[in-house]
Amino acid sequence: MSTEATSTRYADIDLWPTADLVTGMVESHAEGFAAVRAAGPAIARAIDAMAARLGATGRMIYIGAGTSGRVGAQDAAELPPTFNWPYERAVTLMAGGQVALFQAVENAEDSTTAAPEGLDALKLTANDVVIGLGASGSTPYVIAGLTHARAKGALTIGIQNNPGGEIGRVAEIEILLDTGPEFLAGSTRMKAGTAQKVALNTISTGVMIKLGFVYKGLMVEMRPTNAKLRERAARMVAELTGADIDTCRKTLAVADYAIPLATVMLLRSLDRAAAQAALERAGGNLRKALA
């Protein structure tokens, strides 16, 4: 198992000067980026399949244990504020439950019943996407969850760092992030975790772009929930419409800080109701509403 192997290059790291330790670890993490790049075609297939499957009701459900589970939970938690993706459509199932996000729960990853039970509690549908993560590719919790989800008709994606792992075999789409031996043997919180983080960021952002949550490279569905983000929203609307910043602030206030709504109001000289109707006819897609 490559993720557990010992590298002769790092056999004496306890004797290395601190500067060399830092350089070595950073270089190791860079190998994680290379692994994600190599998995590009599989990641692209996953993005297209997810965008086609999710529609208006499908959920992104992340399943993992330990570091992999926490990486998945972070990706899920960031989708609502970044893209206004509904919280109930970004779900995390963590081996050991929510407490395991903050402290290790021993043996939780060995359960073959907890993930299927969690999916059943969510009333899984064929519109859902289940993403299972496990560096070794052999985590029983994740394998059982993916197997159950696939049997229920959900789209399943298995992300693993070990070639030949079961997680990739049981999923409909396998994403292999072949990161090899760790700087610290077996510590997959390092470059394996880095690769998973980069891959998930790429997948979820790609899906949001395909679903129309991004316009002209801007996070137009962002939730402006504080003063900093409200100013960012005003700058976005100003960039998209050419209006002065004060006009953009006032229009956003009328639009309850919905960036697409304010943009349509200004570019089409419409009141809120008419702009809202235009967006609804376009399925909420700003580009289509402005076409």
Q: State both tokens at 195.
A: 């690769």
Our answer to whether residue 109 is catalytic in this structure is yes
3-state secondary structure of 245: helix
Q: State both tokens at 167.
A: 């997680």
Let me know: does 182 contact 156? Beta carbons within 8 Å: no
Q: Cα–Cα distance between 79 and 54 in angstroms, integer? A: 14
Quote the radius of gyration of the chain (alpha carbons, Å).
Answer: 22
Q: State both tokens at 273.
A: 């109701």
Q: Which residues contact 189 (CB under 8 A, 6 or more apart)?
A: 66, 67
Our answer to whether residue 117 is catalytic in this structure is no
Among residues 88, 106, 109, 231, which one is catalytic? 109
β partners of residue 176: 160
- Return the closest-CA partner of residue 174 out of 52, 70, 43: 43
Let me know: does 102 contact 73? Beta carbons within 8 Å: no
Where helices occur in 189-244 by DSSP H, the ranges are 191-210, 227-241
The helix-helix angle for 66-83 and 191-210 (nearest 10°) equals 30
Q: Cα–Cα distance between 209 and 217 in angstroms, integer? A: 9
Exposure string of 59-93, with b = 16+ CB inside 10 Å and e = fewer, is bbbbbbbbbbbbbbbebbebbbebbbbeeebbbbb
Among residues 4, 78, 172, 239, which one is catalytic? 78
Q: Which residues are catalytic?
A: 78, 109
